[in-house]
């Protein structure tokens, strides 16, 4: 597994300073050659006292790292030890006797929802959360804050897009299941020992091309005229349902 498969980039003076203060696994700090001030000096001193390399770089380099976010001239690489590519994850599980439970995110644009999903899935003991690069919020400062720092130890599985994700999982003998309205109750359903459950965004749901690959659809029963749950709340409920059924089949 390559080093870059395990690196999250955070940006902004306060997020980087807090990461250094809380020993979050910062491996490198990038500071614009034009950045100055008390907090910048504190960041430099904290990093160097901890043996963490500090690079003075151009504004263009900081912009590239932050992907146009509000970086304030500072970014940092943080090692997320359980983050890897989806193909690497599947290769490790080839021929394994035990099952695997993963969530697949389709169009989750809100970084706060993404962070809360990572927190819930990790707490429930799921094996992975597929976070596609295309059409999904980036794992940046907002998502990390919403996860309460759990994003750094979450089993994040990276791939370019969700369609490739479900195709690879299907080829790896995963039962591809959509969580959408109108499906069988997720509380009463049977589950296989290798399951990938797809969550879509609240506005558009799951893409049709992805739904076409899903073998069945499940839903959470809703009462009192409640039409839907926030996707992060849905992810928390289904994560614990899946975790509780582990090993039953």
In order along its 249 residues, the chain shows pLDDT tens digits of 444 567 888 888 988 998 888 777 899 999 999 999 999 999 999 999 999 999 999 988 998 888 766 788 999 998 888 899 999 999 988 766 667 999 999 999 999 999 999 999 999 999 999 999 999 998 887 888 899 888 888 999 999 999 999 999 999 999 999 998 888 999 999 999 899 999 998 788 899 999 999 999 999 999 998 888 899 999 999 999 999 987 554
Tokens of 178: 């959509």
Q: How many Å from the N-terminal Cα to the C-terminal Cα in the chain?
A: 32
* pLDDT score recorded for residue 98: 66
**pLDDT attached to residue 228:** 84
Give pTM, 2 decimals. 0.84
Predicted confidence at residue 18, as pLDDT, reads 85
In DSSP terms, 11 is beta-bridged to 75
In CATH terms, are 3-79 and 84-245 the same topology? no
Q: Which residues are within 8 A (CB) of 168 and not within 5 positions of it... i.e. 6 or more apart? A: 86, 87, 90, 159
Strand partners, 178: 198, 217
A 10 A CB-CB count for 13 gives 20
Contact call for residues 165 and 86 (beta carbons, < 8 A): yes
Spatial contact of 195 and 241, defined as CB atoms under 8 Å apart: no
How far apart, in whole angstroms, are the C-alpha atoms of residue 120 and residue 126?
9
Query: How do strand 26-32 and strand 74-79 relate by DSSP bridges?
Result: antiparallel
Question: What CATH architecture applies to the domain 84-245?
Answer: 3-Layer(aba) Sandwich (3.40)
Q: Where are the domains of the chain?
A: 3-79, 84-245
CATH number of 3-79: 3.30.1330.30
């Amino acid at each position: 597994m390559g080093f870059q498969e395990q690196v999250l980039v955070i940006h902004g003076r306060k997020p980087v300073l807090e990461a250094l203060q809380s020993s979050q696994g910062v491996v490198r700090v990038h500071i614009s050659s034009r950045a100055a001030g008390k907090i910048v000096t504190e960041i430099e001193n904290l990093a160097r006292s901890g043996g963490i390399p500090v690079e003075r770089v151009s504004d263009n380099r900081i912009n590239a790292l932050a992907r146009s976010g509000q970086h304030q001239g500072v970014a940092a690489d943080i090692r997320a030890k359980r983050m890897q590519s989806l193909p690497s994850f599947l290769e490790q599980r080839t021929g394994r006797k035990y099952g695997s439970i993963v969530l697949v995110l389709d169009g989750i644009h809100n970084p706060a929802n993404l962070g809360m999903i990572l927190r819930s899935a990790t707490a429930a003991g799921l094996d992975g959360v597929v976070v596609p690069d295309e059409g999904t919020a980036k794992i940046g400062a907002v998502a990390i804050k919403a996860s309460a720092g759990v994003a750094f130890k979450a089993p994040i599985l990276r791939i370019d897009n969700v369609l490739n994700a479900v195709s690879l999982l299907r080829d790896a003998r995963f039962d591809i299941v959509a969580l959408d309205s109108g499906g069988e109750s997720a509380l009463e359903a049977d589950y296989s020992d290798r399951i990938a459950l797809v969550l879509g965004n609240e506005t558009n749901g799951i893409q049709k091309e992805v739904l076409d690959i899903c073998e069945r659809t499940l839903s959470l029963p809703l009462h009192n005229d409640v039409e839907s749950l926030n996707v992060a709340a849905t992810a928390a409920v289904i994560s614990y349902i899946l975790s509780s059924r582990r090993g039953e089949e």
